Amino acid sequence: MSDPAPLVSVVMPVLDSARYLPEALDSILAQTCRDIELIVIDDGSSDGSQAIIAAYAARMPMMHALYLPRDPSLRSGARARNAAIAVARGTYIAAMDSDDIALPDRIALQVDYLRQHGLDACGGQAEAFGAVAHPMWFPVGEVALRHELIFRVGMLHPTVLARADFMRAHPYDPATAHDDYEWQTRVAFQGRLGNSPATVLRHRVHPDQSNYRFRAEFDLDLRRGRFPHVYRLFPDTPPRAYHALSLIAEHSALQGDAELALAAEWLCRLAAPDDPALKARMARRWDEICRFADPAPDDALRARVAAAIDPGRG
């Protein structure tokens, strides 16, 4: 007789993460939600990660280990995630990275939040540590999340928890480097996405992360995903407005009054959802635009637009 299926399958791809892997594994094994399985899938490590995985799996019945051969052409863990999701038995799939630390209530909080709000996929807030240390903010509401996706991911991927059938219907693309952004922009209109306001993860920042090692590929994937996403959101976007949004997203200097006016108009539009944190985020983007614009706007215009973007500011 087979064991009953768990509520949640936690999927953790691993590639040369021996330095951080024990902390990541321990944080999942210490979850207050006990109705879980942990699927760790090694993507061809050569640094001792496989020995760590085998040692944990030998003493933890709820952990399952899978091993794939190394494919040096890949720039993400998409292939590994898809393979793990294919064998997962849980009603829900929780993503986890092998260098992060999940807080003890992460799984329990997110299952409750997803169910209460009728979501297909749910992220959460995080705290960055390591090379940098600061709180990380992600939009709570569905519309705000779609707006934020113009500029970056709307959910921090190692906080994602989703219905298993939703994940299987929308697998990751192994051909991309920034696979989480590609996935989120692709599914943003296929299901209901949101973020819990609770902090559920400590996100480690270090120079071996893929977004540092494959910066050029990540930037290209951001551009590829941004274009269709913007035109799904706003089908009548003029080319010059899309150009301005791209400059903002890529932290490039805007030039001239016309580009500044477009940036102000669109940041006000994107800040429209009733989400004070989203308005504050768009106002900070306006501040950045003003600092690097050529020529810089005068103080009166800068303050007037900031107040329009975020009326509650100040």
Does residue 90 have a pLDDT over 60?
yes
* Of residues 111, 194, 214, 114, the one with CA closest to residue 149: 194
Residues 6 or more apart whose Cβ sits within 8 Å of residue 284? none
pTM of the model: 0.95
Average pLDDT, the chain: 95
Tokens standing for residue 1: 């007789």
Q: What's the CA gap between 124 and 138, in Å, rounded?
A: 7
State phi, psi for 295 to the nearest 5 degrees.
-80, 160
How confident is residue 1, by pLDDT bands cut at 50, 70 and 90? very low
Burial of 258 (0-12, 13-18, 19+ CB in 10 A): exposed
Helix 215-233 crosses helix 239-249 at what angle (to 10 degrees)?
Answer: 140
**pLDDT score of 211:** 82
According to the model, what pLDDT value does residue 3 have?
A: 80
pLDDT-derived band at 257 (thresholds 50, 70, 90) equals: confident
The mean pLDDT value for 36-52 works out to 97
